[in-house]
Amino acid sequence: MRLHTGLASVGALLLPFASAQSPGGTGSSNVSSSLGPDENGFYWVYSEGLSAAFNPYGASIAKLLIHDKYGVERDVVAGFDNATAYSLDAAHPHLGGVPGRYANRIQNSTFEIDGETYHVNPNENPTPDAPDGADTLHGGHDGWDYRNFTVVSHTNDSITFSIVDPDGDQGFPGEVISYITYTLTDFTWDFKMVAIATTKKTPIMLSSHTYWNLDGFANNETNTALNHTFYLPYSGQRVGVDNILIPTGDIVANKQGSVNDFWSAPKQIGADLQSSEAEGNCGFNCTGYDTCWIINRGQDGPYDWRAEGGFVARLQSAWSGIQVDVYTDQEAFQMYSCNGQNGTMPLKTTQGLVDNEDFPRTIPQYGCLVMEVEDWIDAINHPEWQRETKQIFGPGGDPYVLQASYVFSINDTATS
């Protein structure tokens, strides 16, 4: 059990407030208790301290409800109010889904396996020479998080989705069959992603692409997440990238005190964004983070990724008091600080402030952050990293497996 000692008492403390009204809430607590989808097409899962709604589209998390330090229920992930909206949204910001079959970017939309070169669908950074794009992001223009998964099992505390990704889809070799299971236990969201290459060798890398705002977008002092505190205790290094965020092959040091240093101490997301070093840190003309940090734990000897205190990332908001500790078996961690948000994405009815003239009911730039557990990005184009067994899978070999646990608590002492 990874429950922090203080946590059980926090849970007990909050119970008397369990019926407190969420300010933006038009019934966030009024959820279907029966199995099967609710009237919005979402599947609800419950545990002590948490409830969550999942959507077959992209196997995405649509709502995650937790009570803040005042006992007010907050929905801390971005999304839409109903399942239909996800397929209609042209901007498709990969809201809460599973990017696949290969998350993040593939340089030049090509890779080689056993001497054979494969071309996959380009869908990012169009140029005159490459009008569809210079690279592939999140598995192509019809990647897994553009598809409706099948619900194979749904209980009060867990849901399993499956997908069959055919041979040749988006240009990838061979069929892949995958199962995504989300489970809620006390104050914890667990996920397990398994994928099997049934016919040919193929790259596989999955993740959860969830947008967080631990204030439920209801902070009445700021509508950004720049005051969230972030900590990556094992991440003294990151993957070096070019100005369209394609890995160069270099593994770069995050020197103490530099913009990308979140290892030496917890730091607010916005703490260094005024520094000139932050300009271009997330690509051409971009100030902020879209960074893949390396998780380096082996130096302390063998480790159990589930061991209490062994979180690889911690995100906190002093305003709501909500803290989430991320535990995972993965060896890289991407954080994107919503640099590209521009106030066009609406909040859900479960989020934001009611009748507040300062903050429109939309997500501004830096209004959220995405945290992704994954493997080293684009390692399929960097054999010198020697990660083939983590990224290339074939019939008869080991399956791809990703596991993570997001452990929530109330911590009033986050640096502010």
Q: Which of 331, 372, 374, 382 is catalytic?
A: 372
Residues 6+ apart with CB under 8 A from 39: 32
Q: Name the nearest CA neighbour of 76 among 89, 62, 87.
A: 62
Residues 6+ apart with CB under 8 A from 274: none
36 contacts ligand NAG (rule: CB under 6 A)? no
CA 246 vs CA 78, 103, 209, 282: distances in Å:
26, 13, 18, 11
Tokens 């260094």 sit at which residue?
A: 272
Sheet order of strands, 322-328 included: 150-154, 158-165, 176-185, 188-197, 400-410, 322-328, 313-316, 229-231, 267-268
Three-state SS at 3? coil
Closer by beta carbon to ligand NAG, 233 or else 331: 233
Tell which one of 1, 27, 256, 354 touches ligand NAG (CB under 6 A).
27
Cα separation of 82 and 348, whole Å? 9
Active site residue 73: no
Tell which one of 1, 70, 153, 298 touches ligand NAG (CB under 6 A).
70
Q: Tokens representing 74?
A: 């907050």
Cα angle 240-363-157, degrees, rounded to a multiple of 5: 85
Active site residue 372: yes
Closer by beta carbon to ligand NAG, 62 or else 402: 62
Q: With contact defined as beta carbons under 8 Å apart, do 226 and 369 qualify?
A: no
Q: What x-and-dash track marks residues 136-175 binding ligand NAG by CB under 6 A?
A: -----------xx-------xx------------------
414 contacts ligand NAG (rule: CB under 6 A)? yes
Q: Map the footprint of ligand NAG across residues 213-272, applying CB under 6 A.
A: 220-222, 227, 266, 268, 271
132 contacts ligand NAG (rule: CB under 6 A)? no
Tokens 């991440």 sit at which residue?
A: 235
Tell which one of 3, 52, 83, 332 touches ligand NAG (CB under 6 A).
83
48 contacts ligand NAG (rule: CB under 6 A)? yes
Tell which one of 9, 21, 84, 243 touches ligand NAG (CB under 6 A).
84
Tokens 């790259």 sit at which residue?
A: 203
199 contacts ligand NAG (rule: CB under 6 A)? no
The footprint of ligand NAG on this chain (CB under 6 A) covers a number of residues equal to: 44
Cα separation of 23 and 71, whole Å? 12
Q: How far is the CB of 376 from ligand NAG (least distance, A)?
A: 19
Enumerate binding residues for ligand NAG (CB under 6 A). Answer: 4, 6, 26-27, 30, 33, 41, 46-48, 57, 70, 80-85, 87, 91, 108, 110, 119, 147-148, 156-157, 220-222, 227, 266, 268, 271, 285, 316, 342, 344, 346, 411, 413-416
What are the residue numbers of the active site?
A: 209, 372
